Structure 1
Amino acid sequence: MKLVHIAAAFAAFSALGSAAHAADPVEGTWLVQAGTAKVRVAPCGGDKAKMCGVVVWMKAPNDKAGQPQKDLNNPDAAARTRPIVGLTMIRDFKPAGAGRWTGGKIYDPSNGKTYGSKISLNPDGTLKVEGCIAVVCQAQTWKRSS
């Protein structure tokens, strides 16, 4: 009987802990606008106060030789052998309100360039992802995925 009470107390404590640390609405897995990849957005590993995103799926994960797609366009020659799946694509976003993050960087493996970026949750539940050069920004809309 004590085991049941301990388990019930643990479950109640866990539920309270979860409620106290509710996920930001931008957290989750998102299908990029082109439908070619999915990015999991979550607090950064080294700094939980910032938001990052890792490529977790690609429509075409392998090259013509059957090997994982690599980061071939990276300006750092040493990074060109790393696979794109597992790559941190967005990083270092700082909170700017519920569902809004600014001051981050987005990396585009198709051209090897990194841009200033901001992300925000749209009213329809999609994610607006903007990459900026100076004051000119281009936006994409990502859809929530599983």
Structure 2
Amino acid sequence: MKKLLLFTLVACFFSVASFAQSGADAINGTWFNKDKDAKIQIFKKGNEYFGKIIWLKNPKNEQGQDKKDDKNPDDNLKKRTINGLEILKSFKYDTSDEKWSEGTIYDPKSGKTYDCKLTLKDKNNLNVRGFIGVSIIGRTDVWTRTN
């Protein structure tokens, strides 16, 4: 009887740990931004989540060169290409409200960085809320999972 109880407790522990891990990792994958002109790959590094641009609908500028991060306020970063740019940084999964928070999002179109929260509406739609200071003052875009 004791062995059965111990086995059941161990099995429950691994089930809960596995569920929490899959819940946190549910955000991993490739997403279209709201305009569907970029794909962002979200991935885990350590215990945090990041996202980088892996595809652009129009990757070249008018001169036929790769688009650069020319709106960046840091002159040393203006030569980076947009494709491959890490735009989501340092998100932590909060099991209490099933959101990824404490991260930032960089907008290469404006060169601005915002605080950000990520919330899965369902397995194929991600709410991306960028804000300054307080989440109430901000904007939410919906990203769509790609195949």
Pairwise same-fold verdict (TM > 0.5): yes
**Counterpart in 1 of 2:80?**
82
- Unmatched segments (≥5 aa) in structure 1: 1-19
- 1:1-146 paired onto structure 2 within 5 Å: 22=22, 24-44=25-45, 48-97=46-95, 100-123=99-122, 125-135=124-134, 136-146=137-147
Q: Secondary structure at the match of 1:122?
A: strand
Q: Could you give the per-residue CA deviations for residues 34-90 of structure 1, whole angstroms, max 9, x where no partner exists?
A: 11101000013xxx1000000000000011111110000000001001000010010
**AA in 1 matched with 2:86:** T
Q: Secondary structure at the match of 2:76?
A: helix
Q: 1:25 to 1:124 in 2, by over 3 A?
A: closer
Count of residues in correspondence between the two structures? 125
Q: 1:99 to 1:86 in 2, by over 3 A?
A: farther
Residues of 2 paired with 1:124 and 1:79: CA distance?
34
Q: Could you give the per-residue CA deviations for residues 93-136 of structure 1, whole angstroms, max 9, x where no partner exists?
A: 01112852000000000110000001011036300001011221
Residues of 2 paired with 1:49 and 1:139: CA distance?
24
Check the 8 A contact 1:32/1:38 in 2, yes or no. yes
**AA in 1 matched with 2:109:** S
Using the size of structure 2 for normalisation, the TM-score is: 0.79
Using the size of structure 1 for normalisation, the TM-score is: 0.80
Check the 8 A contact 2:116/2:128 in 1, yes or no. yes
Check the 8 A contact 2:26/2:123 in 1, yes or no. no
Residues of 2 paired with 1:54 and 1:111: CA distance?
17
**AA in 2 matched with 1:94:** K
Q: Secondary structure at the match of 1:142?
A: strand
Q: 1:56 to 1:142 in 2, by over 3 A?
A: same
Residues of 2 paired with 1:121 and 1:106: CA distance?
16
